[in-house]
Amino acid sequence: MTFILEVLAFIVVILLLKLIWNDRVKTIMGQIVIGINVFTCFLYMYGILYQSMPYELALPKIFLHGLVAIIIHTLFTLDQKSKDE
């Protein structure tokens, strides 16, 4: 039963996004994703500084989230440049 509800929720989200999706929404959602990833990097750095998370566990996660933020930012920059041309 839970699986069916999750699938239905996913379908509803997809349909709602199809209704409201435009360049402004895409930009806002992209900036939110970038912000969440940068914030996550800071949380892991905080965990390292206050020794609540081992360095060996936090460093790969910082790398991953930082890389995701850079990739998304790069994709949005390239998309904006292609629209300007």
| 71 lies in some domain | yes
Tell me which residue range forms the domain holding 58: 23-84
Distance, in Å, from the CA atom of 34 to the CA atom of 73, rounded to the nearest integer, reads 7
| 59 lies in some domain | yes
pLDDT tens, position by position, 25-50: 888 999 999 999 999 999 999 999 99
For the segment 60-72, the average pLDDT, to the nearest whole number, is: 96
DSSP 8-state symbol, 17: H
Q: For residue 64, what pLDDT is reported?
A: 96
pLDDT category at 83 given cuts 50, 70, 90 is confident
Positive or negative, the Cα torsion across 25, 29, 30, 35? positive
Q: For residue 81, what pLDDT is reported?
A: 83
| 46 lies in some domain | yes
Number of domains in the chain: 1
DSSP 8-state symbol, 53: S
How far is residue 15 from each of residues 10, 20, 21, 29, measured CA to CA in Å? Answer: 9, 9, 10, 16
